[in-house]
Structure 1
């Protein structure tokens, strides 16, 4: 019998929300869409999130909490869950990364890493 595989793939896409931002006040609003896919062979539930948000000046915000957007999705192998949320920065450029705390149906707890992704207004990066 092969050992169970615990694997969650996380992809992110961000966009600048110009209509909600006030650059002259140092307020830059971004939306990001996250897709979480269970690529392992054991069903698992997302229990909690941990984000590290870094602005262009090196300021760091940490965000921790239960679930995502008020949900704790349970994913069978091959299933995915997608949601959109937002972040507000004081600079036109920043990054986000972190992890999701997962609980597999067999009781195994594990972290699903979220690779860094960029928050930037259009035409800031070349």
Structure 2
């Protein structure tokens, strides 16, 4: 496939930045973006939909990720860590990266929905 981007996500709760009585639950997420396509592509922008367990939605849009607009040749990857604060102990994030390939064609790389949550142990 000409335009193909693989995205994987790892979430880590940040209890040191969580203030439950203020309804601020902090999470870090590390995203790995790999160009599995046949042509180079640059990440131009991002669009996030962040939802907490009450149904409250925040949308975040902007250029690049962590101040960068990485260009990935076929087989290359880019990894970054960022964070989110939501009002409940669990929530979800999903979205897309706006991309442009080396032929000048724009396409979206879908960021699969992932869960923001503290790890729980069943006993």
Category of TM-score, reference length = shorter chain: over 0.9
2:26 matched residue in structure 1: 29
Runs of 4+ in 1 over 2 A off after TM superposition: none
Q: TM-score, normalised by structure 1?
A: 0.94
State which of 89, 109, 113 in structure 1 corresponds to 2:86: 89
> 2:50 & 2:122 partners in 1: Cα distance?
18
Query: Runs of 5+ in structure 1 lacking a partner?
Result: none
| Offset at residue 87 of structure 1 (A) | 0.2
Compute the RMSD of aligned alpha carbons: 1.5
Q: TM-score, normalised by structure 2?
A: 0.96
**Structure 1's 107 and 21: CA in aligned 2 closer, same or farther, altered over 3 A?**
same
1:48 matched residue in structure 2: 45
Query: Runs of 5+ in structure 2 lacking a partner?
Result: none
1:12 matched residue in structure 2: 9
